[in-house]
Structure formats: C-alpha cells, structure tokens
Chain A
C-alpha cells in the first residue's frame, strides 16, 4: 500500500487555456541553444569556439568550479553564436543543426549491472548530469557527494501544468531504466511522489523506488514539499531530485547509448489558440514551438509556469528544466478605481472582491501587479499556502536581515522559489518573495563556500 500524505494548505488557481490531451510534433528549428543562465549559481567556462563542429552530446561549456559537470550540445551541427550580456556574461551558446543527428557514443548497458562510478561518469560525459539537482539550494548536484536519498515528483500541480500520466504513457520503460540508474547513486532510497487523485497511476508499478501519494492543492506536486513530508533535509544533509521527463532521458541514455534530450512541452494559457502538447527537444526556439498559435500581441511569454517561470522574448530558447510554456496577457494597462470596484471578475483568495460568488470561475489573468509594493502588514496569509512546518514570513525576514543562523534554524535548506511561489501570488503587500528566497540561498552558498 502506498502511503497517502494529505495536505490541506495550498491553492489551485483555475486558469483559462489548460493544455488539451492532444499531441503534435513541433517543427524543429535550425538553431538550438543552451543557456548557462538556466542554472542558478553556475559559472560557465566555454569549451567551444564559434564555427566549431559539434555532435549531440559534445561539450559546449562546463562548470568552472566542478569541471567534470559538462553541458552538451542538443544536436549535431556547428556553433554559430555565443551571445553575451553585461560584463561579458555568457547568455546563450547557439548551435546550428546540420540535420544529420550525429551523436557521440556513451555507455549502453543495463544500469543495474553498472557501478556507481560508471553511472556517474556516463551521466557526466553525456551532459545528462545537469538533470540532477540538489536540495538544499536547488542547484546542480555535486558529483563528488552522495545524497541520502533521491526524489522525483511524478506530477506537477502548478496551474496549466502538463499531465505526466499522458506524457509518459509510452515512456514508462525508459522511466524505469532511469530510476534503476538513479537508485545506484544514493545510499538511501529513490522516492517517488505520486498524485493521490489519479487512479491506475502509471508510476504505481515502478520498481527500485519507494512510493508516496500526495493529496492536496498546489504546491503538493513540488519536490520540496514532498521531501519535507517524506524525509526532510536537516542541516548537513543532502538530497537530489530529477524532473520526470529527465528521468526518461537518463533511461534513454542507458538504453541507447546516445545523448537524449527529448521534451514534451505543454503550450498553454489564455492567449494560446490551441493549448496542447508538443514533442520537441531541449534547446528549441520558442518561435517554432509557438508558431501561429498566439492570440493578440500584447502578451507575456513565460518559459515555465505562471508561478515560477521566466518572462522571455519569443526569439529565445526553451528553459532547460521547463516542461511548459504559458502565454498570458501583459497587464500593463491602468484601471480606473480598480481597487475600489466590487470586482466580480477579480481573482483573489480573500473574499474582498465579489468574485467569491463564483468560486469555480476560470480566470484569464494578466501580469499586472494589482497594487503597489508595501512593507509586510497582513499576517497569516503565507501560512495558508505553504504546506510545510515552516514559518514563511519569519524565514523571509531572516533572509532580509541576512541572519545566517536564523535562516538555517527556520529552514532555508528545505525550500526553493517554487515552494514559496504562491506566497508571492497572494501577498497583499506585493512582496518579491521568490527573489528574497534566491537571495537567501545565494547568501548560504557564499557563506559555506
């Protein structure tokens, strides 16, 4: 029997434009790119020059401080551009595909027969290591360390999120292969977080992993919340986690010996004509993914979900860890007496707008801040959307005053932006919660480096 963990706190925001259960193959672009900025805290060092020929799986850049962590080309072709930003920071390494799909060869074997070192080496060499991230801090895992456990959340509870029950229907064997590989990397267990609302869960029969079912609103599907309830991270402890689709890519690496970077992306949002799934690859351009599918032109394109994603330009590339692209209206219009109107159509968790008369309404929310930034005034709001034994406001205040000891005591090791994203959504004072969390994490990394 899978243990069911019930969570009461949290919030499911109903948004228009959920992805329909339809799959299309996205047009593959001529240019792919890898963005070092997708990896918080990374200092990239280039391994290629412009005009250099590469194959899928060839190293493009690596981590300056952990040189064995490589970031590899998604396709075979030629490096055509290295785009830099302020202070020559590398933003994008762009590869023009030659259409030959040549890939470097890596170890092809049943991971259960391989040693931990062999598996680690295979992941590092192929560039698949970047799929492994760690808590604390939500940064790429350090291959010289061993985690006490590995966690995979098999469902995404964010608004308009992809449904992995659909996406993985054909890929469950590779997923199992990926789990087998991961199970060799930890001295503890591989733990799967299952969606308790799904019957006949396709992850139910996965072997070499412990299963826990979570029942509750978002953020029940975020891995940080699941870790907190299964095996929390205390001071000095380390766990790793991987996204569902990347477990499949890891599985494919071992079953084919080739670098795999497939990604099924949910393209959704109120400004999408036909919200559905697209089969594509990591590093693809958003332009090809979104071709002719956008309504209107005053929009915000978000790589990732509306709670934690990044506002991007259509000319950029899909984020490395992202499985959805959302488009919502840009809310840059002023509204006369907006704060004073009855607000039958205004989304709020408080009942201070009359929208509480229609609790099941689906909203087409825009990106407006809905008010000015103020100091903390209202209390008890954040506690309602964080299903963890953590005092969110006190932790945030500890970060603001840069008190390392207090941050540690209040649970900085257990959280990343995504667990606190809802706090930012519902905050009366419009506090920039996620950037405070990231600042706290950066402070901790600096303190202990």
Chain B
C-alpha cells in the first residue's frame, strides 16, 4: 500500500518533538478521513465495537439531504425560467442553472466553516469533530437562492464559533448551529432573507429588465397565504397542494420538495440515524395546531382557514421536522421528552406562522425556542423517573 506508507511517513513530521508537532491534531483530522484508525479497544471493557462512528452518522445525514438538494437545484432553475415565462427550457438547462447558483454557496459554506473548525482544532489541540459536515450543507439549503456569498461565509463562521465552539464543541451546543445562524441572518439582513425578491434566482435582474411573466410576484406560498385578505381563494388558485408537495414552488433551496424530504426521512429512519418519535410528533403537533386554527377560523385572518394538512407541506415545515428538529444534540434526550419536544415544535411553528404577521415562517423560531426548552423537558422527565424509582421502596414498605 503506497498511500498508507506515504501517510505514515508524513505522520512523522507531526509527532512529538518533530517540526510540526502542534499541527498533529490537524494532520490527524485529515488522516481519519482517509483511514479508520488502527486504534484498538482498551485492555478492559468491550473488545468488539459497532462499526458506526460519528463520521458515518453524519455521512448518512448528508446522503439523506442529497435528494432534496438535487431537486432544489433543479427547482431554482425552473423558477428562474418560469418567472420569465419560459416553461420549456428543459430539465438539464434548468438543473445546470440551479447547480451553478448553488454550488458556490455549498463550497463557500464548507470552506468558511471547516476553515474555522480547523482553527479550533489547532487551538484546542483536539481532533476534528464531524458536526460541521452536516451544518455545512444545511446552511446553503435553508437560505434563499439569491443570498450573497459573503452572507453564507458569515453564517458558516458564526455557526461554528457561536453555534458550537463557544459551548465546547460538537455535542455541547444548546441551539442547532445552522438554524441559529439562519436566525441571525434573518434578523440582521431581513431584506436578503425575506420578502418577495429573493426566492427566485436573479429575480431582481429579471424584474429590472422587464422580463417578468404575467402574474409572477416572487412571493412564496407562505407569503401569499399570510397576505391573503378576506379569503384564501387567491392562494388556492395560485398554489396547488400537489405543486407544494412535489416542490415546484419558490422557497429556500432545500425546503420546497416535501417528496424529496420524505425520501431523506426514510433514509434517516431506516438507518436508525434520526429519531422517529421527534419527526412524527412534529407533524402531529403541526396538524393539531392547524386543526385548532381551522376550528376558530375568522375572516379577519383567512390564513387560519388553511386546511391543517396543507400547513405540513408548505414552507420549511417538513424540512425542519426531518432535518432540524431531529438533531440529537439540541433535542430532548429522554425518550418521553422527545414526544413533548417534537409536538411543541410543530404546534408553535404553525401558531407563529398564522398568528404572527411579522414572521411568515415559524418553523425556525419554534425549533430554536424548543432547543432552549429541551433541557427543561428532560429535567422533568428525569425527576419523574427518580420519583418512580423512590416509589418502588414505598410500595414495598406499604
């Protein structure tokens, strides 16, 4: 094995006493991507180990994101041409437009984020932790297609520094790093993160050139639903539920296609990487709030009358439920707590979406809010557990 010898030779430069000894963790971080280390189990303890590690887990999440990402690329191109009234550009032209718009976002996210990670590897003198493999792909998938590259770079650096490392690194953070930075961008640069001009690729340019086709406003289904006056007729005429489900609507790059997200969900659940309780309970919570709003629907807020199940297929709801709420680090860690945590995410997401006109999408905020409450939920679940264990003694004495 030539490569193996070469890597082994390279390693000598980083060993203790050698010239680059401080760079050892950086070297090791690269080495572990090449090779699963030859480290063996300790003298005492389990001598055989499951093949899974954090790298594999994160890779599965990345693979699960791919269907939604590829569809998002195509949809970006499709929306770009559709806005100009061109409906027969062809799948490849549409896809390549999206690819060339999206690829730079992904590259910038990974370069900026991983670069920051390696600074911490060097400073902490600890091998890289794989969390950013997922965050780096999530960030471009939850921003509008026309977001400036520098904002993605800022987001990635913030995700690593304030999303993770200030808490102590992977596994220690309170908030989902990708969502936290999206929230920061959303409040810091609202014009680039919301409105009607950012969701369609090159929308501003097309509008300036006067090329916009009739009826194109650049708004997302969420925007139209929130802006509805009197009734939802306009919304229903413009957006079919099928289009929303398949994802042929404007929106953040990865969030539009519920179908592709469900494929990702199946990958995550089948491999056992994500928790089905959280995923399911987010949808149940969303449906519950949707039903509640349907019951009390008024004409002053026609959004309340949007059928409950349509809430689940528009906006970032499905994406948040499948890829964001299930982040094990920031979610509730007890099995019962996961039900409560997921349910409240769905419940509050739809509440914010419908009843707070300032935020057309409530998923991001509700997940971040429940991230903050997850430790509290766990606290009470653990307390209940302890009480049950103590009751064991009392039952016996009685």
What residues make up the interface of A, taking CB atoms closer than 8 Å to B?
A: 13, 15, 159, 232, 234-235, 300, 302, 306-311, 326, 328, 330-340, 343, 346-353, 355, 365-372, 374-380, 383, 389, 391, 393-394, 409-411, 417, 421-422, 424-430, 432-435
Interface string of B267-302 (1 = CB under 8 A from A): 000111101000000000000000000000000000
The answer to whether B51 touches A346, judged by C-beta atoms less than 8 angstroms apart, is yes
Interface string of B321-341 (1 = CB under 8 A from A): 000000011010111001000
Work out how many contacts link A and B, with CB atoms closer than 8 A.
Answer: 216
The answer to whether A379 touches B331, judged by C-beta atoms less than 8 angstroms apart, is yes
Distance of A67 from chain B, by nearest CB (Å): 28
The answer to whether B171 touches A429, judged by C-beta atoms less than 8 angstroms apart, is yes
The answer to whether A379 touches B386, judged by C-beta atoms less than 8 angstroms apart, is no
A333 CB contact (under 8 Å) in B38, B272, B386, B388: B38
Q: What CA separation (Å) do A375 and B41 show in the bound complex?
A: 17
Lowest 9 CB-CB distances: which A-B pairs, in order? A371-B53, A338-B36, A375-B171, A346-B51, A334-B35, A424-B46, A365-B48, A350-B272, A339-B55
Interface string of B32-58 (1 = CB under 8 A from A): 111111111111111111111111110
The answer to whether A428 touches B52, judged by C-beta atoms less than 8 angstroms apart, is yes
Known: A334-B4, A379-B333. 8 other contacts (CB 8 A): A232-B392, A306-B47, A336-B34, A365-B49, A368-B36, A371-B52, A375-B171, A394-B334
B43 CB contact (under 8 Å) in A235, A311, A349, A376: A311
Distance of A203 from chain B, by nearest CB (Å): 27
Which of A331, A346, A426 has the most CB atoms of chain B within a 10 A radius of its CB? A331
The answer to whether A352 touches B271, judged by C-beta atoms less than 8 angstroms apart, is yes
What residues make up the interface of B, taking CB atoms closer than 8 Å to A?
A: 1, 3-4, 32-57, 59-60, 127, 129-131, 168-172, 270-273, 275, 328-329, 331, 333-335, 338, 382, 385-386, 388-390, 392-393, 396
The answer to whether A367 touches B273, judged by C-beta atoms less than 8 angstroms apart, is no
A to B CB contacts below 8 Å, 14 in the list? A232-B392, A334-B38, A339-B59, A346-B51, A347-B50, A350-B57, A367-B48, A370-B52, A371-B53, A409-B386, A410-B389, A424-B49, A430-B53, A435-B44
The answer to whether A338 touches B35, judged by C-beta atoms less than 8 angstroms apart, is yes
The answer to whether B54 touches A374, judged by C-beta atoms less than 8 angstroms apart, is yes
A336 CB contact (under 8 Å) in B35, B55, B169, B272: B35
Q: What CA separation (Å) do A164 and B43 show in the bound complex?
A: 27
The answer to whether A391 touches B45, judged by C-beta atoms less than 8 angstroms apart, is no
Q: What CA separation (Å) do A382 and B56 show in the bound complex?
A: 18
Distance of B292 from chain A, by nearest CB (Å): 30
The answer to whether A337 touches B34, judged by C-beta atoms less than 8 angstroms apart, is yes
Contacts of B273 in A (CB 8 A): 350, 352, 378
Contacts of A430 in B (CB 8 A): 49, 53
Contacts of B44 in A (CB 8 A): 310-311, 434-435
Q: What CA separation (Å) do A334 and B39 show in the bound complex?
A: 8
Contacts of A426 in B (CB 8 A): 50, 52
Which of B3, B41, B272 has the most CB atoms of chain A within a 10 A radius of its CB? B41
Contacts of A328 in B (CB 8 A): 47-48
The answer to whether A434 touches B171, judged by C-beta atoms less than 8 angstroms apart, is no
The answer to whether A374 touches B392, judged by C-beta atoms less than 8 angstroms apart, is no
B328 CB contact (under 8 Å) in A307, A333, A379: A379
Contacts of B59 in A (CB 8 A): 339-340
The answer to whether B40 touches A378, judged by C-beta atoms less than 8 angstroms apart, is no
Contacts of A334 in B (CB 8 A): 4, 35-38
Which of A300, A336, A377 has the most CB atoms of chain B within a 10 A radius of its CB? A377
Nearest neighbor of A376 in chain B, beta-carbon distance:
B171
Contacts of A308 in B (CB 8 A): 45-46
Which of A332, A378, A434 has the most CB atoms of chain B within a 10 A radius of its CB? A378
Contacts of A393 in B (CB 8 A): 333
Contacts of A349 in B (CB 8 A): 50, 52, 272
Q: What CA separation (Å) do A394 and B375 show in the bound complex?
A: 12
* A337-B34, A352-B60 known; A374 vs B48 contact (CB < 8 Å): no
Nearest neighbor of B31 in chain A, beta-carbon distance:
A334
Contacts of B388 in A (CB 8 A): 389
* A336-B4, A348-B51, A434-B46 known; A371 vs B36 contact (CB < 8 Å): yes
* A332-B40, A334-B37 known; A380 vs B46 contact (CB < 8 Å): no
Q: What CA separation (Å) do A410 and B382 show in the bound complex?
A: 9
The answer to whether A369 touches B40, judged by C-beta atoms less than 8 angstroms apart, is yes
Q: What CA separation (Å) do A300 and B40 show in the bound complex?
A: 10
Which of A330, A349, A391 has the most CB atoms of chain B within a 10 A radius of its CB? A391
Contacts of B41 in A (CB 8 A): 311, 331, 367-369
The answer to whether B170 touches A331, judged by C-beta atoms less than 8 angstroms apart, is no
Nearest neighbor of B128 in chain A, beta-carbon distance:
A372
Q: What CA separation (Å) do A23 and B32 show in the bound complex?
A: 45
Q: What CA separation (Å) do A413 and B37 show in the bound complex?
A: 36
Q: What CA separation (Å) do A424 and B329 show in the bound complex?
A: 19
Q: What CA separation (Å) do A285 and B52 show in the bound complex?
A: 36
Q: What CA separation (Å) do A234 and B39 show in the bound complex?
A: 39
* A328-B47, A334-B35 known; A377 vs B331 contact (CB < 8 Å): no
The answer to whether A425 touches B54, judged by C-beta atoms less than 8 angstroms apart, is no
Contacts of A434 in B (CB 8 A): 44-46
Q: What CA separation (Å) do A348 and B51 show in the bound complex?
A: 5
Contacts of A367 in B (CB 8 A): 40-41, 47-48
* A372-B127, A377-B328 known; A391 vs B36 contact (CB < 8 Å): no
